[in-house]
């Protein structure tokens, strides 16, 4: 994709600019004070254009974290005040270098190829090549070596393997490889990197606007076509017909085609046989689940990368790295997500979590069976821990030796199950939801000032989550 410098003529002068203070208040209210203070407060408003706004954040890590978790919510908040805003762009700005006005003054002076992609053609709205997904930071092992080498060859010798078809499960690195190819070739070629879903969107949009000629011209004149998640074309006959003819036109003119999917070509359902035949006629490579050595390499790399950014705050021990490398086996994306969660926990609570806390933070990724964590189990374990009977806990008595265990059980039920406040109240002798809220807040406050309470909660969480794994308690 060819980037262009910011053109001041693009700035939308017809409507008043967004009041960023109002947007910040809305983010705080809708996403929570904790999330806002930890992440969203670091966002600065820079500039507004016809259909997007430019914001700044201090680091690449913060940008990636916000983008992966809160971007859609932030965009919806902004659109509620200005509906013509359709996307958000981020610029990495060290906020120590100057105030917001000084940053805005230099917008035209920075190298946008390293920071923000500016889109001038509507077909390029989703041609979002990520500058951070490169060949040099794609970690390889026995599970993905062939796919990596094939992708590298394509970036060096266009049409040598054509088409290149990469398949594998979710979060294995397929998109990373397609992006890396596009990044290597975009300076000297017209590159289109688009998902099958977005291809369909543009196709339907062109039909509705009676502009199929422009659609065909655009896609058939590209030098490099990278299509992600081709399986989403299943059952869409009209779009498959257009894709087939586009595919042939590109092959005839010597353009490179790279496709990714979640399964092999012959396993694609409701895809025309002639399309599957075209895919099978090129080089087909798969990416398998990462083995332990690759998982460990990925966790170590990601941890070190984040340690460089937050060297004074963040340290992920070798013990923790080895633990998550061993326990999280499904995908690379889950591994990276686990590291990000641990980093977030460390920054919010200003401490490195223990293994017992890691088990709770990552319980959905560690294949812990959430269904076995019942309210009855929590009540039983808490009663045993505090040496009281369940009848005593559930009674209306307010003796101190009963109140604290009862509040502890309610707190653990709230954080370890998906039960609503009224549901929890019913299981604790039909107590009002306000009582449940008070109990949770009480324990949270005690944890902040009483180390013994923290220790007891950790012990109880371990016993509840791993009650059938005595060796892990």
**The pLDDT value given to residue 372:** 64
pTM of the model: 0.55
**Token digits for 319?**
């013990």
Handedness of CA 121, 123, 126, 131 (dihedral sign): negative
Quick one: which of 389, 388, 397, 407 has its CA closest to 450?
407
What are the tens digits of pLDDT across the range 145-183? 999 999 999 988 766 688 999 999 888 999 999 999 998
Q: Is the separation of the CB atoms in 329 and 289 below 8 Å?
A: yes
pLDDT > 70 fraction of the chain, expressed in percent and rounded: 83
- Residue-averaged pLDDT of the chain: 80
**Token digits for 247?**
């595919």
- Grouping H, G, I as helix, E, B as strand and the rest as coil, residue 467 is coil
What are the tens digits of pLDDT across the range 388-447? 999 999 998 888 889 999 999 999 998 888 788 888 998 998 898 889 999 999 998 898
Query: How large is the C-alpha radius of gyration of the chain?
Result: 26
What are the tens digits of pLDDT across the range 56-70? 888 877 887 787 778
Tell me the pLDDT band of 17, cut-offs 50, 70 and 90: low
- Mean pLDDT, residues 336-364: 81
What are the tens digits of pLDDT across the range 341-350? 888 787 777 7
- Mean pLDDT, residues 120-130: 52
Give dist(CA 17, CA 12) in Å, integer. Answer: 8
* CA distances, 204 to each of 80, 124, 226, 259, 303 (Å): 26, 16, 19, 21, 43
Query: Does 221 score more than 60 pLDDT?
Result: yes
CA atoms within 13 A on the CB side of 58: 13
Quick one: which of 1, 99, 83, 12 has its CA closest to 50?
12
- Mean pLDDT, residues 109-119: 36
Largest CA distance in the chain: 83
Query: Does 50 score more than 50 pLDDT?
Result: yes
Query: Does 315 score more than 90 pLDDT?
Result: no
**Token digits for 139?**
């970690």
- Mean pLDDT, residues 115-122: 34
pLDDT > 90 fraction of the chain, expressed in percent and rounded: 26
Query: Does 13 score more than 80 pLDDT?
Result: no
Query: Does 14 score more than 60 pLDDT?
Result: no
**Token digits for 154?**
């394509």
Query: Does 120 score more than 70 pLDDT?
Result: no
Tell me the pLDDT band of 383, cut-offs 50, 70 and 90: very high
**The pLDDT value given to residue 373:** 78
> Can you count the helices (H) and strands (E) in the chain?
21, 8
**The pLDDT value given to residue 159:** 61
From 203-207, 349-353, 455-459, the region with the lowest mean pLDDT: 349-353
């Amino acid at each position: 994709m060819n980037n262009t410098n910011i053109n001041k003529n693009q700035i939308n002068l017809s409507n008043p600019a967004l009041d960023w203070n109002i947007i910040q208040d809305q983010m705080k209210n809708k996403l929570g004070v904790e999330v806002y203070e930890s992440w969203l407060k670091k966002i600065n408003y820079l500039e507004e254009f016809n259909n997007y706004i430019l914001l700044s954040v201090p680091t690449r890590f913060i940008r990636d974290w916000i983008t992966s978790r809160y971007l859609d919510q932030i965009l919806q908040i902004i659109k509620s005040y200005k509906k013509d805003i359709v996307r958000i762009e981020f610029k990495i700005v060290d906020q120590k270098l100057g105030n917001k006005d000084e940053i805005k003054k230099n917008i035209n002076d920075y190298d946008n190829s390293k920071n923000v992609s500016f889109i001038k053609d509507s077909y390029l709205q989703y041609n979002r090549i990520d500058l951070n997904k490169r060949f040099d930071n794609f970690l390889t092992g026995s599970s993905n070596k062939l796919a990596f080498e094939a992708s590298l060859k394509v970036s060096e010798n266009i049409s040598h393997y054509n088409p290149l078809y990469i398949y594998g499960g979710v979060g294995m690195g397929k998109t990373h490889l397609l992006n890396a190819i596009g990044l290597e070739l975009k300076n000297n070629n017209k590159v289109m990197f688009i998902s099958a879903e977005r291809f369909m969107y543009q196709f339907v949009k062109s039909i509705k606007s009676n502009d199929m000629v422009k659609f065909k011209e655009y896609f058939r004149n590209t030098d490099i076509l990278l299509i992600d998640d081709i399986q989403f074309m299943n059952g869409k006959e009209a779009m498959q017909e257009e894709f087939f003819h586009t595919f042939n036109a590109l092959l005839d003119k010597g353009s490179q085609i790279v496709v990714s999917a979640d399964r092999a070509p012959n396993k694609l359902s409701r895809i025309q046989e002639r399309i599957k035949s075209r895919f099978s006629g090129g080089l087909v490579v798969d990416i398998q689940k990462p083995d332990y050595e690759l998982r460990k390499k990925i966790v170590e790399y990601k941890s070190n990368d984040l340690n460089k950014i937050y060297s004074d705050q963040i340290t992920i021990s070798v013990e923790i790295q080895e633990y998550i490398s061993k326990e999280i086996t499904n995908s690379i994306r889950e591994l990276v997500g686990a590291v990000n969660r641990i980093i977030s926990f460390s920054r919010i609570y200003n401490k490195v979590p223990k293994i017992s806390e890691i088990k709770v933070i990552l319980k959905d990724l560690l294949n812990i069976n959430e269904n076995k964590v019942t309210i009855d189990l929590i009540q039983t374990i808490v009663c045993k821990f505090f040496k009281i009977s369940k009848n005593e806990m559930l009674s209306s008595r307010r003796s101190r030796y009963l109140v604290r265990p009862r509040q502890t059980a309610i707190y653990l039920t709230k954080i370890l199950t998906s039960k609503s406040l009224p549901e929890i109240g019913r299981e604790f002798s039909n107590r009002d939801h306000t009582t449940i809220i008070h109990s949770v807040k009480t324990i949270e406050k005690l944890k902040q000032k009483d180390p013994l309470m923290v220790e007891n909660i950790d012990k109880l969480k371990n016993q509840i989550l791993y009650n059938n794994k005595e060796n892990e308690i």
